[in-house]
Amino acid sequence: MPKFGIGTWRMGENENKSSVEINAVYYALKNGVRLIDTAEMYGEGGAEIIVGEALKKANVDRKELFIVSKVYPHNAGRDNLFTSLKKSLSRLGLDYLDMYLLHWRGRVPLRETVECMEEAKKEGLIKDWGVSNFDIDDMKELESIKNGDKCSVNQVLYHLASRGVDFDLASYMLERNIVLMAYCPLAQAGNLGNDILNNSVIKNIAKKHNATSSQIALAFIMSFDKRVPIPKSSSEKHVLENINSQNIILDKEDIELLNKEFPKPNRKMPLDIV
């Protein structure tokens, strides 16, 4: 999996914005992005259509791409998962997904979802599968199920001002080589929790690296092993800014300053979800 990708939450909800959104994804692809995250929930399939149109326009070799989508919890059982998956593939214009995630826990037993995911792998409809919004107890339960240890990703909300996963979940995942995909890595442009993009510590580090606050926030996430930020933007300027965050290497002093300003929790915190 690439160390950086783009998200598509809130895309595909308004037809008047579709051309701008298609262009944003296309622009990301033309500038080297290969990981795109989407879901059947986003715009009720609309975001997958946006991604599909951008993929068609960019015409990137399929083997270079890493496309992630997610299934609604109520569709994650034997009755609906394969139908949902095939609809997602149709909207994306693809034959298979590189990663298919259970969007969050629902009423369908995890055992049934895992069985379906493994069958989808055998049928060549997906390369791998994972989960989203799972806390450590959910992950432990998943691991106890037959083939539950095949889970390779857990996508969770993670940014500098929301580090609850650093108490226990992140280390648990790292020990098992499970990738942490970080959604809302910029705290929705600073609108979630603390206004991280206007934080003086981040701004000073950004100045040192001739970068933006957003780039520092993303570089911090990428400084960890097996953590992949997936920021979403419909602006070419911000898309390119986010992409270029991959070129920033934070030094030990930077990391120490950020850890001091945004410390890891010293107790268990509820998993943040939006």
Binding residue ranges for substrate: 103
Binding residue ranges: 103
183 is annotated as an active-site residue = no
For the stretch 114-149, pLDDT in tens is 999 999 999 999 999 999 999 999 999 999 999 999
Q: Which contacts (CB < 8 Å, 24+ apart) does range 208-214 have?
A: 208/254, 209/248, 209/250, 211/245, 211/248, 212/241, 214/186, 214/189, 214/238, 214/241, 214/242, 214/245
Quickly count: other Cβ atoms within 10 Å of residue 167's Cβ.
15
For the stretch 49-80, pLDDT in tens is 999 999 999 999 999 999 999 999 999 999 99
Q: Where do the domains of the chain lie, and which CATH numbers do they carry?
A: 15-261 (3.20.20.100)
pTM for this structure? 0.96
**pLDDT score, position 98:** 99
| 3-class DSSP state of 127 | coil
> Catalytic: which of 26, 27, 42, 158?
42
